[in-house]
Amino acid sequence: MLALTGCEVGGERTTVRIAGSRIVSVGERPEVQDQVLDLAGDRLLPGLINAHDHLPLNHLPRLEPARRYRNVREWIDELDAQRRVEGPLEAAVAVPLGERLLLGGVKNLLSGVTTVAHHDPLYPELCDPGYPVRVVTRYGWAHSLDIEGEAKVRESHRRTPAGWPWIIHAAEGVDEAARDEFRRLDRLGCLQSDTLLVHGVALGPQERHRLIAASAALIWCPSSNLHLFGVTADVVELVRTGRVALGTDSRLTGSSDLLDELRAAAGQVAMTPGALESLVTRDAARLLRLPDCGSVAPRARADLLVVPAGMPLQRVRRRDIRLVILDGVALYGDPDLACALGPSERWTEVRVDGRVKALEASLAERLRHLSAGEPGLELTAVAGRAA
């Protein structure tokens, strides 16, 4: 059993004890047989939840928009045209799917994310025990009304099991066609308590009021919205009622990682640090129907993030992260904490944005053989050493 002592949870110093993949107690003293790691005042948070990502698209270059778009359809049409032209985008698309999926997982892990809601087919690789983050599997989804049409969208919602979230891109734009997508979903009977709309840029006061009345919610991706449209959704009332989770979208249009997305969100809406953190922990877990994620509490999953003492999450960058634990297993962090939890052979020394870190050795070895890489991640020449 692992006991994390001297950690700050919710403003108080405490001890968190872990057995296997679960937290067994908070606030109890370590027992004689426990492996003890003193965090010396560092903050202990639940592993972050990225509520919206397209995992195979994160190695792609962020494309500067030719203009501000009125509707995402305009951007998709331009992107399709660019894909057919020889250049960086064409080369990036040629990277094998398995490699792209792995890079998407690593992007999230290095930013303290332990759970991702992936908005595309649930590829088998995402369910592999060695995948670097947990991917939500109990969900229904449709891409959008524009891509799939009303009949397929309605059937997707109908077939989603009770108790699972149903996720769809909607109102992604600033024109009347984008706003009308919300009304169409309502007419189709797809606006219910299980519904999570992604983006919602075009939602006005009436639509937001209806969203709250239906107990539906919004997955907010402000960086992507600002990049394409110059504006993002008005989420003030939705945040106040706990109806918002935060997502990165992919790097094609969105932020570098979820920590950057938190800073983008803080720049759009005045929130307390606690309210901001909830968008990627407690509220995200509730809206995605993940009852054992998003909190540091007994019986919760031992998905944990350690950040420096006194540092609000919106100030944390991935080089600052002290430790990331998934299902009770440390995967990334500072060498002193990593090596305290396992022999040096378990770790490979890497650099993340110029700072020396430790990455789980088998994951580092898989990354060595990829044809593409994670920006800012430098692998050492020799595996299995992290001091």
List pLDDT tens digits, range 203-218.
999 999 999 999 999 9
Say which CATH number the domain at 186 has: 3.20.20.140
My answer on whether 384 and 278 are in the same domain is no
Q: What is the CA radius of gyration of the chain?
A: 21
159 burial via Cβ count (<10 Å: 0-12, 13-18, 19+): exposed
Contact indicator for 82, 63 with CB cutoff of 8 Å:
yes
My answer on whether 277 and 347 are in the same domain is no
My answer on whether 277 and 359 are in the same domain is no
57-88 confidence digits (pLDDT tens): 998 878 787 789 999 999 888 887 776 555 66
157 domain residue, yes or no: yes
pLDDT value at position 383?
47
306 domain residue, yes or no: no
HSE-CB for 381 with a 13 A CA cutoff = 0
91-108 confidence digits (pLDDT tens): 677 889 999 999 999 999
Contact indicator for 172, 147 with CB cutoff of 8 Å:
no
34 domain residue, yes or no: no
Chain-centroid distance, C-alpha 312: 18
In a 3-state reduction of DSSP, which class is residue 370? coil
Residue 201, pLDDT above cutoff 80: yes
My answer on whether 347 and 264 are in the same domain is no
150 domain residue, yes or no: yes
H helical segments located in the chain: 72-83, 88-93, 97-109, 145-159, 176-187, 205-213, 222-229, 236-240, 258-268, 273-278, 282-287, 335-340, 361-368
Q: In what helix (H) or strand (E) does residue 19 lie, and over which residues does it extend?
A: strand 12-19
Residue type, 355: R
My answer on whether 260 and 368 are in the same domain is no
Residue 224: give the domain boundaries: 49-287
